[in-house]
Structure 1
Amino acid sequence: MLNFTIDVVLGLVLGTLGGLFGIGGGLIAIPVLGVLFGLDQQLAQGTALVMVVPNVVLAIWRYHQRNRIEWRHALALAIPSLCLAVVGSSVAVALDAERMRLIFVAFLLALAAHTLYRALHRPSGGSGAMRHSWRWLSLLGGFAGALGGLFGVGGAVLATPILTGVFGTSQVVAQGLSLSLALPSTSVTLATYGLHGQVDWALGVPLAIGGLLSISLGVRLAHALPERLLKAMFSGFLALSACLLALEV
């Protein structure tokens, strides 16, 4: 019972961060599960997804309530994301866990540096209107879905800076759309990992319970913070996740 309670509390923390940054909590959960519970990369990714999938569903609804998600844009991201996630997750379960970890660390550090640069040296994001045709979102959705399938998470964190920097959306609009992109890819990735025995359900379920109880708080914080500060915090969050992941042995 004590272990279950501790796992729920951990889920509360991860859910708050997931709602704040629009990622469902999986990005930080993967290195935490590796460092604290000694799970290898694939098992950590699969277990984190047990929490991520229901968190993403609730977070999408909360973001939509506060800043309406354009479902045409969401579907343009989600459908190709789903298709390419099948390919990415099928490849991931056969790859070397150590190599995947190192690639993921490099990816997070590069993305953190890019996001911090944009937060410090460029104007804040736009009003939420698309700078380019929504049809281009399909390319972003496909690439992000493949990345999410490969690493368990990652598609949403890639999509957020591209949506703000290339398409001109605000940070909170980008985070809501990124969650819409993440839902189908994370769902199919969880199913793939589960079929290959790469999920610790006893650990993942209490994490999911905690996440569902706290993710709404994270969404409220995201809409309350200034745009530039939220971007800077997002960058720091990526760097922290990379550092935690690098500590795995």
Structure 2
Amino acid sequence: MLDLLYFLLLGAFAGTIAGLLGLGGGIILVPSLIWIFQYKLQIQQDKIMHMTIATSMTTIVFTALFSIYAHQKRKAIHWPAFKKLLPGMVIGTLIGVFIANSLSSSILKITFAFFLLIVAVQIEFLGNPKGEKKFPGYLLSNLFGYLIGNFSALVGIGGGSLIVPLLLWFRIPIRNAIATSAACGLPIALSGAIGFVILGFKSSTYQATGYIYWPAVFAIVPASLIFVPLGVKLAHRLPIEILKKIFAIFLVIISIKMLLSEFL
């Protein structure tokens, strides 16, 4: 019962942050799930990161569907860019799952820790980039999609922190960039979840299919969706720039803690 409470609180926090700062839930879910799986559920050490990434990506499947519905009602999704990125994202994610499956939990944890540092720098120091005016053709778009999908599978995210800056670089307005990023999260997360089910199927239990831990998914998803509107409401009332600084510092602390736990 206490485990369920942890997952519900985690979903509420992830949903609030997503609505408040426009960041995907994976940024919050992955380090939190690592802690719960390791210290509360005592999951086998060498499978913690694999189960964490798979579970995180599965929750993103459901939240992405909700986001696509909400953004499509406002006709905010840039479907031409989505279609160009799609094949590369799916292929990149599936290959990324195979790579992740071959790596140790320790290496995956270090990879995610460095990713948090990059996101923190992006939040704190980088504004909206202004680059090319024309979105690239299918070849280059698929290369971008492949790299995004590949890395997303290694760290358990929907790719938003990578896709939004890319779309902004090609002069897609911020609202459309966020909406399109939410749409891209679905094929990335779905491909990743399917891959982790197949590769981890021998590890299945009555609570897990492959590496996906269902009690966490079924608690996190509804709590997250319920609290996203709260985050949006707070975004219109609180000083976002100060909140971004605090959250960037928070990510740095988590990253350093994860790195120290691996190296010391």
Category of TM-score, reference length = shorter chain: 0.7 to 0.9
Counterpart in the other structure of 1:102: 110
* Structure 1 pair 175–239 and aligned structure 2 pair: CA distance change class (3 A): farther
Q: Is the 8 A contact 2:76 2:175 kept in 1?
A: no
TM-score by length of 2: 0.76
How far off is 1:64 after superposition? 3.7
Partner Cα distance (1:238, 1:99) in 2: 19
Q: Is the 8 A contact 1:81 1:145 kept in 2?
A: yes
TM-score by length of 1: 0.80
Partner Cα distance (1:177, 1:225) in 2: 26
**Is 1:70 the counterpart of 2:82 in the alignment?**
no
Counterpart in the other structure of 1:31: 31
Partner Cα distance (1:223, 1:145) in 2: 32
Q: Give 3-state SS (helix, strand or coil) of 1:4's partner.
A: helix
Counterpart in the other structure of 2:135: 133
* Structure 1 pair 131–115 and aligned structure 2 pair: CA distance change class (3 A): farther
Partner Cα distance (1:62, 1:189) in 2: 23
Q: Which of the residues 189, 192, 198 maps onto 2:211?
A: 198
Partner Cα distance (1:73, 1:233) in 2: 33
How far off is 1:242 after superposition? 2.9
**Is 1:207 the counterpart of 2:207 in the alignment?**
no
Counterpart in the other structure of 1:47: 55
How far off is 1:3 after superposition? 3.8
How far off is 1:172 after superposition? 3.6
Q: Relative contact order, CA 8 A, sep 6+: which one is greater?
A: 1
Q: Is the 8 A contact 2:53 2:153 kept in 1?
A: no
How far off is 1:99 after superposition? 1.0
How far off is 1:208 after superposition? 1.4
Counterpart in the other structure of 1:148: 152
How far off is 1:226 after superposition? 8.4
Partner Cα distance (2:141, 2:184) in 1: 10
**Is 1:57 the counterpart of 2:52 in the alignment?**
no
Counterpart in the other structure of 1:89: 97
Counterpart in the other structure of 1:11: 11
* Structure 1 pair 228–63 and aligned structure 2 pair: CA distance change class (3 A): farther
* Structure 1 pair 90–20 and aligned structure 2 pair: CA distance change class (3 A): farther
Root-mean-square deviation (CA, aligned residues, Å) is 3.2
Larger radius of gyration: 2
Match runs of 1:171-190 below 5 Å: 171-190=174-193
Range 130-139 or range 74-83, more displaced? 130-139
Partner Cα distance (1:247, 1:207) in 2: 28
Partner Cα distance (2:114, 2:30) in 1: 15
Q: Is the 8 A contact 1:53 1:187 kept in 2?
A: yes
Paired residues, number: 242
